[in-house]
Structures are given as C-alpha cells and as structure tokens.
Amino acid sequence: MMKKMMAAVLCGAVVVGGITGVLVTPEPVYAADSKIAWYAPAPHPYFDEVKKGVEKFMEEQDTEVIIQIGPDWTQASENEKVEALVAQGVDALSIYPCDASGANGLYEEIHEKMGVNVINFGTDTAKPTSASFAVGTDVKQAAKDATEALIEMMGGKGKILNVLEVLEDPNTALRKEGIEEVVAEYPDVEIIQEIAGIKTQEDAVSKIESAISANLGKIDGIICTGMISSVGMAQTLTDFYAKQSDAEHIYAIGMDTDSGVMKGIEDGVIDATIAQNSEGHGYISCMALKLMGEGYTVKDDQYFIDSGIVLVTKDNTDSYAEDLEEVTKGILEKLPTDYLTK
C-alpha cells in the first residue's frame, strides 16, 4: 500500500467531515473588471505557500489580487477585515474561513447583498453556503493516508503520539477524526498521548519533548498533521537522537514540505511527509474567480475542486513538486469546461 501511495498523486475533494446538507449553488456575479482579493485569517507557514500560488497567478495571468493576512483565528476579525475589503470595491474573494458555520453569515452578507463571488481555499464551510467552490486538500483523507503509512512502518502494532495544532481550525478536527478512525481499525495500535493547541514551532518542540520524556521507550510512531508541528517534530527528534544515539528509531510522519521537514527526511529522523498542493490552492481559486468575472457560471453539481496530495519519502524528494504542478495544470485546463460553463 505504501509504495502505491508514494508513486501516485492522491487526489480528494475538500471535505466537510460530518457536516451535511443541501448544496445551494449561488448565482455568480459578473464584472468586466473584477477586483479580486485573497484573505487568510492569521500568519501561518501554510498561507505563505498558498500566497506563492496567488503571486504566480498574478504574474502569469496579468491580474491584480489584493493580498491580506489577518491578525488572528477568530471569525469576528475575519468579518471585519473582509467587510473592509468589500468596502474598497472587492467583488471576488478567495478566503480561508475561520469557522465552518460562522463564516456563512459573512458570505451571505457579501454575496447575496453586495454581489461578491466567494471561493473557499484550504478548508470548507457548512452547507448550505454562498461560496461557489472550495479548493483544497481532503484533509481527513490525507490524515488517514498518513496514519496508514505510519502504521505500516510500525509493522501494524505499537503506540502513537498524535500531535495536533490549533483546535479552532476546522481542519484540525477533521485530521483528528481521520487519525482516530484508522487507529480504531488496528487492535494492536493505540494513541498513547495526544498533543494539541500548537501555534508556534516553540510550542511544538516543548510539547513533543515533554511527551517523549514522559513516555520514554514507549512511543513507536509520531504523526504530525500540521506544518508547524512537523517542523517542531524534526527539530525535536534531531536533538533526541543526538543525545541518545542508542535510542530505538521512532517512526515519524509529518505534513507539508517546509525545509526543516525535508531536512528531517534527508537526515532520516522523519520517514515521510504529506505534500499538499498549497500553491495550487491559491492559483486555482483565483483563476476560478477570474473566469467567473468574465461570465462563466458554476456547473450543476460542481463544488469541490480536488487539489491532490503526494506522500514524500527519501525516494521521491526530487520529483514530488513536479507531480503537484501537473495536477494544478490539469485542473486549470478543466476549469472552463468541467467546473464552469459559459
């Protein structure tokens, strides 16, 4: 199974976990000169990667995008900042919603009453929603794939340290669910400890160090499903092995491809990481908004835009980025025909 995962790009639509409901496709707004904005709620390495895709879109499509990163992970702040953007004339918005349910009130206000086209990137909102699309990773499935890979490395048995980031992020809950669902399928595997509330690399290092010390010799695998926690894991394990050269290897899998994580793979302290198509989240969402501003409408039953993932190990560190670029190119080619119509 693991070899298949390493060889293939794993694609999955953005998932809303247990949220269900009727999907209402909002009526698009047409503007000959759409004013596009990209909004992220707070500083985070993931948003830095998405922003690269937005900047690439701006350069290649010769289209201006207002880029703004907010102050914190609260829906109230997001509402305030987005309303200010709309007041500046923005009529097309690529946004990471802070709250899966709370963001819908904002969307309804700016789309239904002010004519702003909205696309979610990176995560999703509850249904029904005024968002036209969601572009991103199936975060729950990615967490499940990562857990399966880790358990395979562990030989199908052992104890796992589950490292999560901010619980306010809707994706964190989905990742937690995915990990726990897979672990439940293996009678000889258990989560020995869960860590949460990680907002900085320092948080990650401190909490992972404490967990390893508290469970010395008992942890067989560590899973981190956030970029910050994964970088912290790489640093922590590097220091751990330097101090305890005779320690048993702890299998470790992370999320995203920060340089610290990739060095961890190169050095052998991390065994694998899940590469999201973060740049694609930015580029694809902005391109869809541009096309909608040119008169394209959303096709019936189209909402999720699968951005793809790749499991990265020592075997494919030189090729995984090309795989993700090919996925993005394929989606961009299909946007006007498979997802939109005119």
Predicted TM-score (pTM) of the model is 0.77
8 Å CB contact between 164 and 35: no
Tens of pLDDT along 21-41?
Answer: 334 445 544 444 689 999 999
Instruction: Report pLDDT for 337.
Output: 97
Close Cβ partners of 329 (under 8 Å, ≥ 6 residues apart):
none
Least confident of 5-14, 91-100, 273-282: 5-14
8 Å CB contact between 236 and 208: yes
Close Cβ partners of 29 (under 8 Å, ≥ 6 residues apart):
91, 111, 115, 116, 117, 292, 293
Angle at 337 (CA atoms; ends 336, 341), nearest 5 degrees:
70
Instruction: Report pLDDT for 17.
Output: 31
- Counting every residue written for the chain, the total comes to 342
Catalogue all structural domains in the chain, each as residue range(s) with its CATH number. 2-137+277-308+316-341 (3.40.50.2300), 139-276 (3.40.50.2300)
pLDDT score of 15 more than 60: no
DSSP character at residue 10: B
8 Å CB contact between 232 and 203: yes
Tens of pLDDT along 46-73?
Answer: 899 999 999 999 999 999 999 999 999 9
Tens of pLDDT along 298-317?
Answer: 999 999 998 989 999 999 99
pLDDT score of 258 more than 60: yes
What's the whole-number mean pLDDT along residues 86-115?
96
Instruction: Report pLDDT for 33.
Output: 66
The share of the chain scoring above pLDDT 90, in percent, equals: 85
Instruction: Report pLDDT for 10.
Output: 41
Helices (H) and strands (E) in the chain, counts: 11, 14
| Residue 2 vs residues 115, 225, 313, 340: alpha-carbon distances, Å | 46, 18, 10, 35
pLDDT score of 11 more than 50: no
What tokens does 223 get? 């899973």
What tokens does 325 get? 């670029």
pLDDT score of 107 more than 70: yes
What tokens does 209 get? 């160090």
| Residue 261 vs residues 65, 165, 229: alpha-carbon distances, Å | 30, 16, 10
Cα torsion for 302, 10, 48, 116, to the nearest 10°?
A: 0
What's the whole-number mean pLDDT along residues 96-108?
95
Instruction: Report pLDDT for 167.
Output: 84
| Residue 174 vs residues 16, 138, 177, 300: alpha-carbon distances, Å | 8, 9, 5, 27
